[in-house]
Amino acid sequence: MIAWDRVTREHVLQAMKDYDRLGPERFFAEHGFGPTTTYDLVLNDRLYPPKAILGAAHALATGERLASGDFEGGKSGAVKVLGRMGFAVQPK
């Protein structure tokens, strides 16, 4: 189980900025994740892939890169963690 306590809201916001700067394809290639299929992370009317953003935020916080299979992305995984940080996540 991943300890998410080292990942802050600021790490998530930085990962979102990286996504905006790189674009989806380069972001996914660099961080080892793919597009979202079930949920969208929403900020300022922009949509982001929750699992990929949280994985990148974890790498920023810890220096440890997670693979997509290392944690759940859905309601009991990334969506729940991001929701606790005050982010809005909505079904696709």
What are the pLDDT digits (tens) for 34-51?
998 899 999 999 999 999
For 4-34, what is each residue's pLDDT tens digit?
A: 999 999 999 999 999 999 999 999 999 999 9
Q: Residue 54, exposed/middle/buried by CB under 10 A (0-12, 13-18, 19+)?
A: buried
Nearest to 86 by CA among 16, 9, 15: 9
Do 16 and 53 touch, CB atoms closer than 8 A?
Answer: yes
Q: What's the rounded Cα separation, in Å, for the pair 15 and 31?
A: 10
pTM listed for this prediction: 0.95
* 38 and 46 Cβ atoms separated by less than 8 Å: no
* Model pLDDT, residue 85: 97
pLDDT tier for residue 73 given thresholds of 50, 70 and 90? confident
Residue 56 has pLDDT above 90, yes or no: yes
